[in-house]
Amino acid sequence: MKRTYDLLLERHIQTERQMAFVAGPRQVGKTTTCMAVSEGGPYFNWDHSADRLLVAKGAEAVAEKAELHALREKPRRIVFDEIHKFARWKSFLKGFFDVYGKQCRCLVTGSSRLDLYKRGGDSLMGRYFLYRMHPLSLAEISSPDRSEVEVCPPRPPAKDALDHLLRFGGYPEPFLKGTQQFFNRWRRLRLEQFFREDLRDLSRIQEIGQIQILVQFLAAQVGQLVNYSNLAREISVSVDTIRRWIVTLESLYVCFNVRPWHHNVAKSLRKQPKVFLWDWTMAAEGGARRENLVASHLLKAVHFWTDTGLADCGLFYLRDKMKREVDFVVTRDGKPWFMVEVKSSEKASLNPNLFCFQKQTGAAHAFQVAFGMPFVARNCFEEKTPVRVPAETLLSQLV
- C-alpha 155 chain-centroid distance: 22
DSSP 149-185: SSSPPP-PPPTTHHHHHHHH-S-HHHHHH--HHHHHH
Strands (E), the chain: 19-23, 43-45, 76-81, 104-110, 128-132, 255-260, 274-277, 313-319, 325-332, 335-343, 365-370, 387-390
> How far is residue 310's CA from residue 304's CA, in Å, rounded to a whole number?
8
pLDDT (tens digit, 9 = 90+) per residue, 222-263? 999 999 999 999 999 999 999 999 999 999 999 999 999 998
Helix axes 239-251, 228-235, angle to 10 degrees: 100
Digit-coded pLDDT (tens) for 24-68: 999 999 999 999 999 999 999 999 999 999 999 999 999 999 999
Q: pLDDT value at position 185?
A: 97
Percent of the chain with pLDDT over 90: 83
Residues counted in the chain: 399
Work out the pLDDT band at 120, boundaries 50, 70, 90.
very low
Residue 94: closest CA among 134, 58, 140 = 58
Which residues lie across from 318 on neighbouring strands?
Answer: 326
Q: How far apart are CA 194 and CA 130, in angstroms?
A: 23
pLDDT in tens, 309-328: 999 999 999 999 899 999 99
**Averaged pLDDT score across all residues of the chain:** 94
Per-residue pLDDT reduced to its tens digit, 272-317 = 999 999 999 999 999 999 999 999 999 999 999 999 999 999 999 9
Q: What are residue 372's DSSP bridge partners?
A: none
Whether 192 has a pLDDT exceeding 60, the answer reads: yes
Q: How far apart are CA 108 and CA 105, in angstroms?
A: 10
Domains of the chain, start order: 4-132 (3.40.50.300), 138-396 (no CATH)
pTM of the model: 0.95
pLDDT score for 112: 81
Contact by Cβ (8 Å): 3, 29: yes
Q: How confident is the model at residue 115 (pLDDT cuts 50, 70, 90)?
A: low
pLDDT in tens, 324-340: 999 999 999 999 999 99
